Amino acid sequence: MSDQRLSGRCLCGAVTFTATPKGGMHACHCETCRRWSGGVYLSVACETVEVANPEAVAVFDSSEWADRRFCRSCGSTLFWTLKGGGLTAVSVQAFDDPSAFAFEDEIFIEAKPSNYDFAGDRPRRTGAEVMAQFGGED
């Protein structure tokens, strides 16, 4: 899928984008993602993300290592980026075809609330494992 460009938008249509995904869908259970998205955050890491109208995107400095992007008008969750570059994770539900992605793994598994589980067998990584991968702190 790495050479396929996919389109997406926010709820109100003020933000439109194209992105080049580089893998499958990840479910993040960390508290920051759950509060930001209103539930488990499903995202896809992307090689590139091109926003047609960047002035419609607001940026929230959510931690020492990442920031969150959302629509200034409707508040739709769009994507987060590592500070200094290297990774942009786009909300699966912001894509025009969210069914295009295979469910790859779950991260921050120790922070997952006990009132839900995903069916199926897939890798589940802790927050410490994820932060070690990105060089940040939990």
- H-helix or E-strand containing 127? helix 127-134
Closest by Cα among 68, 70, 92, 79 to 12? 70
Record: fold of 6-134: 2.170.150
Q: Where are the domains of the chain?
A: 6-134
Phi-psi region of 86 (alpha: psi -120 to 50; beta: other; left: phi over 0): left
For residue 55, the 8-state DSSP code is G
For the full predicted model, state whether its pTM sits above 0.85.
yes
pLDDT tens digits for the chain (138 residues)?
557 999 999 999 999 999 999 999 999 999 999 999 999 999 999 999 999 999 999 999 998 889 999 999 999 999 999 998 889 999 999 999 999 999 999 999 999 999 999 999 999 999 999 888 876 554
